[in-house]
Amino acid sequence: MSDDRTVFRTCPLCEATCGLQIEIEDGAVKRIRGDQDDVFSTGFICPKGSTLKQLYEDPDRLRKPVVRQGFDVDGAPVFVEVEWDEAFAVVADKLTAVRQAYGNDAVGIYLGNPNAHNLGWNTHARAFLKAIGARSVFSASTVDQMPRHVASGYLYGNGLRMPVPDMDRSDLLVLIGTNPYVSNGSICTAPGYPDRIEAVRARGGRVVVIDPMRTRTAEAADQHLRIRPGTDAVLLAAIVHHLIATDQISLGRIGTIVDGVDQLGAAVKPFTPDAAASVTGIDAETIRVLADEIAAAPTAAVHGRIGTTTVEFGTLTTWLIDVIAIVTGNLDEPGGAMFPCSAVERVRPNRTGRPYRVGRWHSRVNGNPEVQGELPVGDLPDEILEPGDGQLKMMFTVAGNPVLSCPDSHRMDEAFASLEAMISVDIYLNETTRHADVILPPGSPLEKDHFDIAFSNLSIRNVANFSPVVFETDQPAEDDIIARLSMIVTGMGDGDPDLVHDQLVSQILANEVRTEGSPIEGCDADRLAAMVTGERGAERVLDALLRTGPYGDAFGANPDGLSVEKLRDHPHGIDLGPLASRLPAALDTETARIDLWAGPFLDELARLEARATEWGADDRLRLIGRRHLRSNNSWMHNLDVLVKGQPRCTLQVNPADATGLGLVDGGRAAIRSRVGELTVDVEVTDVVMPGVVSLPHGWGHDRAGARMTVAAANAGVNSNVLTDPTALDPVSGTSVLNGIPVEVAPA
Ligand SMILES: Nc1nc2c(c(=O)[nH]1)N[C@H]1C(S)=C(S)[C@@H](COP(=O)(O)OP(=O)(O)OC[C@H]3O[C@@H](n4cnc5c(=O)[nH]c(N)nc54)[C@H](O)[C@@H]3O)O[C@H]1N2
Ligand SMILES: Nc1nc2c(c(=O)[nH]1)N[C@H]1C(S)=C(S)[C@@H](COP(=O)(O)OP(=O)(O)OC[C@H]3O[C@@H](n4cnc5c(=O)[nH]c(N)nc54)[C@H](O)[C@@H]3O)O[C@H]1N2
Ligand code: SF4
Ligand SMILES: [Mo]
């Protein structure tokens, strides 16, 4: 029987959550296009979206678990395919051996970026993390957005309460250190982001981009300000300074719930626009005019991403962005910075009566504080390699490639190679997973249910969209894999994953029936559990979350409300409307107020002042990163359609610097940082500002023993060989990936 059909689903590859229309002919994907009827993306798609076909078909993608059985004569690991039960038995043996020899503190975990896009991980992570009980949890968050969580924690009492730019209604959009024409946006789920930027201008608004590079986003903006890497906090503090000095503070509706505005003036006093000009490279008058424009615009949204978070003052920078929204009356107002309300969120304020805290424990070797339950990933190599009590001997990695994505890659590689045991949940045998004893491969995206639990909380419209499995497979998805791992870890043996799925559903419902204000408060949880639908574990947990969420059907009490079944009937998604003001109800601070000085920000401003003086006298070349539309961190370089064409892993150098350094376009350069050295192809271009060089991350696919044929043929070099693991934002533990001091010379 031929399998011909058209299906619709949400692309899980980046934060934009585009709707895809997938045509299937004879059981194979014929074509993937943007879904014109998707309620949110209305047909937008980027070149990666259609590659779900190539990813599904990629012969290198693992179809069965593999277990490492020694090394070949060249030292490369040798893997053999095994059945799932056998693979889980090896996991259990390894875990028991390590725990017996060293105790539970010897077990750590690294969580990669695709988890955020994965339904099964989002529904089941809690079970696994609780079971494993590890203090050594590391993730891509500390090479990414951790400053955003920490700033939110202190300001709003909840590290997951993140404002997004309400750009569809903004009169002024200021984008700092983000390049959505390439990345398609981050901590701002907005499919068709480029079109939305153009729409701001088309309706008479203004778009300003602040970036050391003349990016495609900068080219599309009304104004582009080139800034010296790492100095954004100085610029933003100067904006606040000017707003206060010129009496342009206007708190608006939330003025009654904000404390500490009076102290701002003294705190930002040293950061005059004139002082900021010499540090940032942006002249004082331009800074004043930008501040005036933000104050004068009917609505303004300032949004910062990677260029503002992966720097030494990442948390302070993020806090300053929110402070500007607060003091100009743009927080929680249409057209400003607003809080989404996801279909799966628990809406009731969760006031704990306790302030937001970090540092509940510290990394063993370097003593860095825990944040959001994690330790800085820059500390991971030391935690593995440095002997002593609590040394890590076993790691789990789930959807992560830290050997390419995290600082000081050579040492990270050495660390993973030295482990006594390593288990990876991953779809590829790559630079990181080649060190694993067992790789457990979930199916490809087309073989999994999908709902964006994480990104519906970061979305510029409230939308709900469920995507059922397209192709059945006997490869389990993350929910089943994580359930089985949780049982092994808790000593329940290798049981039926349904036990874990059912337990998760029961916990959600039991909690809800006990919670004041829940739509199912006081109901019989067991009776409701029997009403939960879904063929798979993640789907059932999602159903429980949706039905008890802010738009849920409350198991019949609100018959028009959401459930998985209802979403299945709406393959193009359900639009839940524009963002609405949510403060003060959405505050989880102990006082239900916003205290600007909760947290270390006064000290951070003092630290910034001291550093700014040093920066003024420091003219070393600075390395920053860059993304490409056809990339996705380190893991999509195995798809020929995405890597063909000109090699993209080049060091971009400004013509003036090239002349000074004796570099030529197409030549080779040696680039050296405090921790590493690389030889790389040079591209001379004035896209990058003088004094700055740019190299993309996620390359360097030349390690023996990986099985990524296409990537190996387009290896490139790994920029994180140059990243210094000790350079971090001390507040959030986030690595400095932008503004790294380097020396460059002809090779
Ligand atoms: N120098 C520099 N370094 C950077 C950055 C930078 O800008 N500059 N950016 C940083 C950022 S923002 C991030 S998020 C990190 C990313 O850091 P990581 O998340 O560690 O790296 P990725 O390259 O995203 O690797 C993802 C892994 O998940 C696997 N995978 C893909 N899909 C699935 C799936 O469905 N299930 C499972 N189980 N596995 C899957 C892939 O095979 C790969 O092994 O990199 C960071 N590193
Ligand atoms: N095509 C593609 N899309 C992606 C990814 C990908 O790898 N490829 N990765 C995804 C992930 S995991 C994430 S987190 C997002 C990231 O999303 P974005 O943050 O939008 O991604 P980038 O393109 O890295 O943009 C960062 C910008 O900051 C600039 N910058 C560097 N240093 C500084 C600085 O000190 N100050 C300022 N103001 N700017 C600076 C850089 O030049 C760059 O243009 O993208 C996601 N989308
Ligand atoms: S922009 Fe992101 S979500 Fe949209 S098609 Fe491209 S990769 Fe997929
Ligand atoms: Mo990221």
- Asked if residue 185 and residue 320 are part of one domain, the reply reads yes
**Domain extent at residue 562:** 496-572
In a domain, 113, yes or no: no
533 torsion bin: left (phi>0), alpha (psi -120 to 50), beta (else):
beta
pLDDT of residue 352: 62
Question: Ligand 1 in contact with 228 (CB < 6 A)?
Answer: no
Place of tokens 């330790």: 375
Buried b (16+ CB within 10 A) or exposed e, 204-215: ebbbbbbbbbbb
Pair of tokens at residue 125: 């992570």
- Mean pLDDT, residues 492-519: 93
Nearest C-alpha to atom 37 of ligand 2 is from which residue? 177
Which bound ligand lies closest to the C-alpha atom of 628? 2
Domain boundary among 35, 57, 79: 57
Residue pair 259/599 in contact by the 8 Å Cβ criterion:
no
In a domain, 394, yes or no: no
Cα–Cα distance measured from residue 379 to residue 365, given in angstroms and rounded to the nearest whole number: 8
Residue pair 144/738 in contact by the 8 Å Cβ criterion:
no
629 torsion bin: left (phi>0), alpha (psi -120 to 50), beta (else):
alpha
Place of tokens 């990524």: 708
Q: Over the stretch 163-172, which tens digit does the pLDDT of each residue have?
A: 999 999 999 9
CA distances from residue 609 to 60, 212, 276, 511, 684 in whole angstroms, order as listed: 51, 21, 10, 47, 34
Q: Which residues line ligand 3 (CB under 6 A)?
A: 11, 13-14, 16-18, 45-46, 48-49, 184, 191
Confidence band (pLDDT; 50, 70, 90) for 494? Answer: confident
Question: Ligand 2 in contact with 738 (CB < 6 A)?
Answer: yes
- Mean pLDDT, residues 193-210: 98
Q: Over the stretch 80-130, which tens digit does the pLDDT of each residue have?
A: 999 999 999 999 999 999 999 999 999 999 999 999 999 999 999 999 999
Cβ neighbours for 264, distance < 8 A, ≥ 6 positions apart: 240, 244, 323, 327, 596
Q: Which helix (H) or strand (E) holds 744?
A: strand 740-746
The model carries a pTM of 0.98
Place of tokens 């933000």: 294
Distance from residue 697's CA to the centre of ligand 3 (Å): 19
Atom of ligand 2 nearest to the CA of 217: 44
**Best substitution site from 210, 227, 627 to test ligand 2's pocket, by max atoms within 8 Å of Cβ?**
627
Confidence band (pLDDT; 50, 70, 90) for 492? Answer: confident
Atom of ligand 3 nearest to the CA of 16: 3
pLDDT higher than threshold 70 for residue 132: yes
- Asked if residue 645 and residue 558 are part of one domain, the reply reads no
In a domain, 361, yes or no: no
The alpha-carbon radius of gyration of the chain (Å, integer) is 25
Cα–Cα distance measured from residue 532 to residue 123, given in angstroms and rounded to the nearest whole number: 15
Query: What 3-state class would DSSP assign to 17?
Result: coil
Question: Ligand 2 in contact with 404 (CB < 6 A)?
Answer: no
In a domain, 733, yes or no: yes
- Asked if residue 644 and residue 725 are part of one domain, the reply reads yes
pLDDT of residue 617: 86
- Asked if residue 647 and residue 515 are part of one domain, the reply reads no
Q: How far apart are the first and last CA of the chain?
A: 61
In a domain, 448, yes or no: no
Question: Ligand 1 in contact with 430 (CB < 6 A)?
Answer: yes
Domain count, the chain: 4
pLDDT higher than threshold 80 for residue 256: yes
Confidence band (pLDDT; 50, 70, 90) for 351? Answer: low
- Asked if residue 652 and residue 555 are part of one domain, the reply reads no
Residue pair 119/542 in contact by the 8 Å Cβ criterion:
yes
Residue pair 411/442 in contact by the 8 Å Cβ criterion:
no
Q: Over the stretch 204-218, which tens digit does the pLDDT of each residue have?
A: 999 999 999 999 999
Question: Ligand 1 in contact with 737 (CB < 6 A)?
Answer: yes
Atom of ligand 1 nearest to the CA of 428: 42
Question: Ligand 1 in contact with 482 (CB < 6 A)?
Answer: no
Question: Ligand 2 in contact with 176 (CB < 6 A)?
Answer: yes
Other Cβ atoms within 10 Å of 667 Cβ, number: 14
Confidence band (pLDDT; 50, 70, 90) for 402? Answer: very high
Question: Ligand 2 in contact with 194 (CB < 6 A)?
Answer: no
- Mean pLDDT, residues 175-196: 98
Pair of tokens at residue 548: 């008890």
Give Cα 30 to chain centroid, integer Å: 31
Cα–Cα distance measured from residue 344 to residue 322, given in angstroms and rounded to the nearest whole number: 25
Question: Ligand 2 in contact with 142 (CB < 6 A)?
Answer: no
**Best substitution site from 115, 635, 729, 734 to test ligand 1's pocket, by max atoms within 8 Å of Cβ?**
635
Which bound ligand lies closest to the C-alpha atom of 700? 1
pLDDT of residue 350: 57
Average pLDDT value over all residues in the chain: 96
- Mean pLDDT, residues 492-521: 93
Which bound ligand lies closest to the C-alpha atom of 311? 2
Cβ neighbours for 4, distance < 8 A, ≥ 6 positions apart: 24, 25, 26
Domain boundary among 38, 57, 76: 57
- Asked if residue 632 and residue 599 are part of one domain, the reply reads no
- Asked if residue 531 and residue 639 are part of one domain, the reply reads no
SS3 sequence of 450-511: ECCCCHHHCECEEEECCECCCCCCCCCCHHHHHHHHHHHHCCCCCCCHHHHHHHHHHHHHHH
Which bound ligand lies closest to the C-alpha atom of 428? 1
pLDDT higher than threshold 90 for residue 700: yes
Question: Ligand 1 in contact with 634 (CB < 6 A)?
Answer: yes
pLDDT higher than threshold 70 for residue 729: yes
Confidence band (pLDDT; 50, 70, 90) for 1? Answer: low
pLDDT of residue 431: 98
Residues in the chain, total: 747
How do beta strands 728-729 and 734-735 pair? antiparallel
**Best substitution site from 8, 9, 11 to test ligand 3's pocket, by max atoms within 8 Å of Cβ?**
11
Q: Over the stretch 297-347, which tens digit does the pLDDT of each residue have?
A: 999 999 999 999 999 999 999 999 999 999 999 999 999 999 999 999 986
In a domain, 114, yes or no: no
Residue pair 142/734 in contact by the 8 Å Cβ criterion:
yes
- Asked if residue 177 and residue 322 are part of one domain, the reply reads yes
Using N-to-C axis directions, what is the helix angle for 232-245 and 284-296, rounded to 10°? 60
Q: Over the stretch 33-64, which tens digit does the pLDDT of each residue have?
A: 999 999 999 999 999 999 999 999 999 999 99
Atom of ligand 3 nearest to the CA of 17: 3
Nearest C-alpha to atom 3 of ligand 2 is from which residue? 183
- Asked if residue 510 and residue 638 are part of one domain, the reply reads no
Which bound ligand lies closest to the C-alpha atom of 21? 3
pLDDT of residue 349: 60
